[in-house]
Amino acid sequence: MIFVLVSEALFRKAIEQAAQSEERDFLFLDDEEALMTALKKETADAFFLEIGSSIPDGVEVIQKLNRTPATQKIPIVAFGNSLRADLLQDAREAGADLVLPKAAFREKLPELMRHYSKTSGKGSGGGRK
């Protein structure tokens, strides 16, 4: 299951569509607290994390995931506005495995879903927690 922290409705819809077409499970989460709660119940195959959005400090979330033994080996895909090259670089330095501008992330979503999801489902789990 891919854990997704994203605030923009456009990207939520694109992720949901890609997951359903690729029959991959995903879980939308609204913030770091919801992420940590979900990790107590589910195992993540990967994290897709929007940076520079209304989700506070995505770079700190990346750092925390990389410092936590239970999550430090789980891949992190970060994406953000290409005009904020500083944030994209901060995400790389914080330890994101892949950092993409939003347009590239959206274009590559089906491929990313196939690559990072170990579990194949019915594209379920799109509900908020």
Note the pLDDT of residue 120.
Answer: 61
Note the pLDDT of residue 30.
Answer: 86
Query: How many residues belong to the chain?
Result: 129
Task: Specify if 127 maps to a domain.
Answer: no
Task: Specify if 124 maps to a domain.
Answer: no
Task: Specify if 32 maps to a domain.
Answer: yes
Dihedral sign of CA atoms 62, 106, 20, 6 in order: positive
Note the pLDDT of residue 39.
Answer: 92
- The DSSP element (H or E) to which 120 belongs, if any, is none
Task: Locate the DSSP E strands across 1-129.
Answer: 2-5, 26-29, 46-50, 76-80, 98-101
Number of folded domains in the chain? 1
pLDDT in tens, the chain (129 residues): 999 998 888 888 989 998 888 888 999 998 888 999 999 999 899 999 999 876 668 899 999 999 999 899 999 999 998 878 888 999 999 999 999 999 999 999 999 999 998 766 554 455 433
Task: Specify if 126 maps to a domain.
Answer: no
pTM: predicted TM-score of the whole model, two decimal places? 0.87
Task: Specify if 59 maps to a domain.
Answer: yes
For residue 79, the cross-strand partners are: 50, 100
Note the pLDDT of residue 129.
Answer: 37
Task: Specify if 47 maps to a domain.
Answer: yes
Note the pLDDT of residue 56.
Answer: 64
Its domain, for residue 106, covers 2-116
Note the pLDDT of residue 98.
Answer: 97
Q: For the domain that residue 67 is a member of, what is the CATH number?
A: 3.40.50.2300
Task: Specify if 9 maps to a domain.
Answer: yes
